[in-house]
Structure 1
Amino acid sequence: MKTALLGTGFGQAHATVYHAHADVDEVVVFGRTPAKLQKMADQFGFTTTTDLDALYADPSIDLVDICLPTPLHAEHAVRAMRAGKDVLCELPLATSIDDAHRVIEAQRATGRQVFVDMFARFSPANEYLTQAVTDGRYGPLRTLEIETRTALLWEGYDLLLDSLAMDAMHADLDIIATVLGRPSDITAIGAQGDPRGSAAEALLTYPTAVARCTASSLMPKPYGMGGGMRAVFTGAVLETSFEAGADGRPRSTLVEYTDTGRRTVDLPGRDTYAAVIDHALDCLAGRATSRITPESTLDGLRLTLDVHHRLTNSLRA
């Protein structure tokens, strides 16, 4: 397996996984800043390049991992497939539903596989929540609150209100869409930070439930990343909390509350970024069926775009 890793910002997290992965023989990193490329070469021993055209023309590259800025995701996913490569695309897949469908159409036309880095789906706590909703073990879900707080951990990457929903809330909104579907009404408000961060909250109403998704990028760098989830069912409450850094290795807890008492649920430790890459490689080897296809992300992307449009419209008001 030879992988082309596009991007030296968030690509650092993926590079760490590839460096330790037995199924990845070679990684070539593309970037536009020689100093950042040299840092990755020194840290991981990877080959680096500023020549993107050469990467797409290289027949030995099997997988293109896209960690470029969000507006470039769809363009490069389509280009990679047309060049005969499979694709792992950082979330979100695209900045519009039309562009997401362009990726899906290219996948069907080329027969390549595309994986979207929906890392939150591989969180053991989110897997537990999703299964609890599916099998109805606690009765109907009535309220769901998910919160993410982060410092600006990736050099040169700001999270203002014009990008917060797409880049910081999308994973959580995807989980909400998975367990509750599309809401009947959406309210979103936000606050612009100074100079590089922001905070926002989305309230989603359903016929028999309410969901709230909150994100903030106003934390100081030593804070890292943290957050949690509270799901209230008719027969129980589930609460999670997590802490993490830019490496994607969260430390999380899950507590179940019922009329009979309080129970800490034993969760496996898992690097969710590594879990996504492991899953993609298993799919490419024929050992698994993809949980992160472009089609599977459309409901979460529609919801995220709805929240994004409300937040950006508030900036223009």
Structure 2
Amino acid sequence: MTYSLVVDMALNEMCWFLLLSGKQNLVYFSRTSFLGESGEGRFAVSLRIGKSDALGLTLNVGRNLATMRAEWRCLRSAVRIMLFSIVTLAVAGCGGGLDVGGYFKDDAPEAQQPQVPAVAAKVGLLLPLSAPGEVGQIGKAMKQAAELALFDAGQSGITLITKDTRGDAEGAKAAAQAALAEGAQLILGPLLSSEVTAVSPIAKARNIPVVAFSSVAGVAGNGTYLMSFLPQEEVANVIRHSSQAGVRKIAALIPNSNYGNAVQTALDEAAKAHGVNIVLAERYSRSEGAL
């Protein structure tokens, strides 16, 4: 038997394209451009974090996606967007919104970039720096991306408080408490859904918003926002494009995690809707060499 397509839903395979979500508490990425639905491969989108006045900052992001920039560049840009979303929060979130779109255009001349207001703000960055395997590697890459984003920004007034979550709930709790003790006004992260669930009530008790990187939509809400890949949209795009290309048999590699469970559900629904047969859905752990 020959499989027509193998779709790898691993986290580190999804750092390319930005789409707007109109849903509460959700900002996410998608591969729509990669799947040939954006004409020449260039489009500008707006990202809105949350619906409240304090998190109502719209960021207009111009990205040239036709040249398929390296994953590191995408990661750095994504973290830069998240870092500067705190400007509205830091000035008490009066709700007017601030258009800083030109600042994020990678291809804009340096002299034309408007300056981000210097605001004294402390931002907690919670990442699984010492977690084993792929998760730890992602955490380290995101930390470097955040540091580079601050370097690019110059005198932004932002102080980054980076804490290691170790990739588990208890570590995330300790990291959040440590960041808040040092005066964090916003928490970026953590990465895993179990970590987000642990951190959310701690931040909520202090009225500190959380912009997490989990792809499990169920952990959003009540002061916790997501800026990440939503598997439902990702899978739907992949299956729709596959169906339109004449693919009728698909095999999927899906991680054993809450994220993987969401992928599996989305895959089943999308395949049924588009008449695609899932001949194999193989689950794997995130341990070294498992894939």
What TM-score bracket applies, with the shorter chain setting the length?
A: 0.3 to 0.5
> Normalising to structure 2: TM-score of the pair?
0.38
- The structure where strand makes up a greater share of residues is 1
> Normalising to structure 1: TM-score of the pair?
0.35
